[in-house]
Amino acid sequence: MDSHKEQLQSRPRFSSRLSIIAVAAGSAIGLGNIWKFPYITGKNGGAAFIVVYLCCIALIGLPVLISDFIIGRRGGGNVVSSFRSLAGKRSPWLLGGFLALFGSATVLSFYGVVAGWSLEYIVKALSNEFAGKTPAQVGEMFGSFIVSPVEPIVYQLIFMATTAGVVYAGVKKGIESFSKLMMPVLLGIILLLCIRSLTLPGAGAGLAFLFKPDFSKLSAAGVLDALGHAFFTLSLGVGAMITYGSYIDKEEDLATTAVQICMADTVIALLAGIAIFPAVFAFGVEPGQGPGLVFVTLPNLFAQMPGGYFFCVLFFVLLTVAALTSSISMLEVSVAYVSEDLGMSRKRATLLLTGLISAVGVVCSLSMGEYQEQLTFFGKNVFDLADFAVSNIEMPIGGAISVLFVGWILKRRKVNDELTCNGKRKVPFVGAFLFTAKYLAPMGIAIVFLHSLGLF
Ligand code: PHE
């Protein structure tokens, strides 16, 4: 047996059905749901944006997720070697793997910054700094925190070091136990927040904002945001789900797992919206203010809740852990590649990559403060630019590569084997899936791109 095969056989596998769902959902559910979804919904005018976003999840995100899983499990390696073993050594499809490596590293660079904010908010919550503050004062607090040149970077680096520690400890031990514990508690707190938010005077305006679509508010850029966020929130197009796919047991039902992940992810995002927007309107916070929305609104909401101090601390702890289960999946993409294909030890690869990615993250953080002027390109600071370039451009392209590869290149028999667990399960929708992967999803991505360029 050659060493590559040996290595693949010794790759860790997730132990049970719950584990793979928990771990992949752990990657999907994170800051994307609780921080980014509400803020871009606010920025793009609410309900109409959500309608487009939900369509993107169902028609594009789900088939891409299934395709990523198929490529990973069938290819059995990291994001590059999976494409290599399925398409051949010199195939141009390998570029898809390299693109994903670049994407996963870039996304982690700014993700680590936001996770650092969440970490710092644990400290603020513990020391009761939000007590007695008006929403405007909490807003000022957030604003002056993120522009400071040192503090956010310290927290970002602590977060990145933690991510590295978990990735270094290995897929199985590190990640599984974390994910299983965390999700239900996080869900519980979000539900409590929803109840409190919905019972505030003036909550109705928030609900209308979320659920009464007005398509005149939605721009072409908003449609691209919706598509990009569908990829971001499901961890698609950057190799995370391909890498995790390679750890999934052959007996697992990929399609059902993918559907469950999409549903769990969407429910959490919508609940986060229901927790935040009624409060935004009740407190008179600006819904379109950008990345600070959640950090400005929630502390005030907790302040109006019995046991608010305790729940606020717990919430930011869990948000940070949710971010961690996502960030480890991002780092795992390049660590798996560098350690398996370039022959570096896992430890060295983890250290080296974490260092590089954190350095870019430091630039992202600085681009929001004092150095904003020097660090602004194409009208966006480096932080926004990294987010835009990955979420709205790289991820949809990476996702298109996955569906096109599974739809057109991979033999139908192999796709069938993967979806039916080698014929052990009856799966009536293989044909429908292939049709979506071949035509619908790639065309959807192309249409949104052309639309955003004003060509459609
Ligand atoms: N899906 C994660 C979130 O919603 C972010 C993520 C993107 C994770 C890409 C892995 C890869 O927070």
12: Cβ contacts below 8 Å, ≥ 6 apart: 170, 171, 172, 247
From the CA of 30, give the closest atom in ligand 1. 12
Residue 111 — φ and ψ, nearest 5°?
-60, -40
- Are the C-beta atoms of residues 19 and 257 closer than 8 Å to each other? no
- What is the CATH number for 448? 1.10.4160
Structure token digits, residue 299? 């502390």
CB of 81 sitting under 6 A from ligand 1: no
Residue 1 lies in a domain: no
Give the tens place of pLDDT for each residue, 177-213.
Answer: 766 777 888 899 999 999 999 999 999 999 999 999 9
Query: How is residue 390 written in tokens?
Result: 């990955």
Ligand 1 test: best mutation among 23, 29, 111, most atoms within 8 Å of CB?
Answer: 111
pTM metric for this prediction: 0.94
What's at 19, amino acid-wise?
A: S
Q: What is the mean pLDDT of the chain?
A: 92
**Is residue 205 in some structural domain?**
yes
Q: Decide if 194 is inside a domain.
A: yes
Four-point Cα dihedral 377, 378, 380, 384, nearest 10: -90
- 155 sits in which H/E element: helix 151-169
DSSP characters over 165-187: HHHHH-IIIIIHHHHHHHHHHHH
Query: Does residue 226 form part of some domain?
Result: yes
Q: How far apart are CA 334 and CA 350, in angstroms?
A: 9
Question: For residue 9, is it within any domain?
Answer: no
Residue written as tokens 């395709």?
Answer: 67
Residue 313 lies in a domain: yes
Domain membership of residue 4 (yes or no) is no
pLDDT tens string 45-82 = 999 999 999 999 999 999 999 999 999 999 999 999 99
Is residue 8 assigned to a domain? no
> What's the pLDDT at 329?
93
CA torsion sign for 304, 308, 309, 313 is negative
3-state secondary structure (DSSP) of residue 376: strand
Residue nearest to atom 4 of ligand 1 (CA): 32
What is the per-residue pLDDT for 185? 86
Q: Is the pLDDT of residue 170 over 70?
A: no
Tally of domains in the chain: 1
Residue to mutate (ligand 1; options 34, 40, 79, 232; most atoms within 8 A of CB): 232
Enclosing domain of residue 423: 15-452
Q: 229 CA to middle of ligand 1, Å?
A: 10
Rounded CA-CA distance 342/199 in Å is 56
The SS3 call for residue 377 is strand
Amino acid at site 143? G
